[in-house]
Copies of this chain bind each other. A is one copy, B any other.
C-alpha cells in the first residue's frame, strides 16, 4: 500500500507477462467460451461495450488507475507498454469522462498495444473506428480530463467488478471482456478447446432438429423438480 509508505502512486516495472503464443491461443476462443471454461468466473461487468463491432482481441493486461476526471496516469502507462498488451483503465471512483482519444491511441499503436478496456468514457470514437483501434468502454463522452493526480500503474486493480493483475490475459469480443489468471492460462486454454470441440457436435445435432431436452437427457430431472405438462389453458 504505497500511500502508507509516504508516496501517492507507484509504477511497477518489469512485471511478468503471459507468453504471447498462449495469449493468442486463448484469443482463438470467444469470451463466453473462456468464461465457461474457467467456471463462469473472470467476467468484467456488462456495462463495458465495444465502440464498434465485430471485434475480438487478446493481450496481456497493462493496468492503470486514474483519478476521477484525470487521465495523467494513462500517459505514464504508455511507457510501460509492451507489444501484445491491452491497456486496462479503472477510475478510483466512478467517472464517465472521456479519458482517452485519438492521440493516446496513436501512441499506444506505436508501442504495439492491441486495444483498450476502460471502465469510464472514451472520445474521438469516429477516429478510433477509422484507425481500427479496439476499445471497450462504459460510455462515449467528449468530456475532457485534467493532469493533476498520478495513479498506480501495473498494480493489481479491480476493473468493472473483476480483479486483474498485470500480465493476466484479457480476451475481449462483442460479448464483453474476460480476464484469465496468468498461472491458469494454459489450463483455461485446454478447457476452452474441450468445450469448443463439444459444441461442434452439439451444434450439428441441434441443427438437425434434435431437442436439447433429449440430447442433455433433461426430462426425468425436470419431472423430479416439479415440472408438469397440462393442456389448453383457457384464460
A: which residues have CB within 8 A of B? Answer: 1-4, 7-15, 30-32, 35-36, 38-41, 43, 45-46, 49, 53-54, 56, 67-70, 72, 75-76, 78-79, 92-98, 101-104, 106-107, 109-111, 121, 123-127, 129, 139-144, 146-150, 154-156, 158, 161-163, 165-166, 173-176, 178, 181, 184, 187-188, 191, 199, 202-203, 206-209, 211-213, 216, 218, 222, 225-233, 235
Contacts and interface: CB of A to CB of B under 8 A. Distances in A.
A175 to B, nearest CB: 4
Nearest to A204: B106
A62 to B, nearest CB: 13
A121 B46 contact: yes
Given A1-B184, A78-B213, A35 B227 contact: no
Contact of A143 (B13, B35, B139, B199): B35
Nearest to A92: B40
A47 to B, nearest CB: 9
A75 B202 CA distance: 14
Given A103-B199, A110-B207, A110-B208, A4 B184 contact: yes
User: How many copies of this chain does the complex contain?
Assistant: 6
Contact of A79 (B1, B94, B208, B211): B211
A124 B175 contact: yes
A182 to B, nearest CB: 11
A109 B21 CA distance: 37
10 contacts: A1-B39, A2-B39, A9-B227, A12-B230, A12-B231, A43-B93, A68-B97, A76-B213, A79-B213, A93-B143
B96 A93 contact: yes
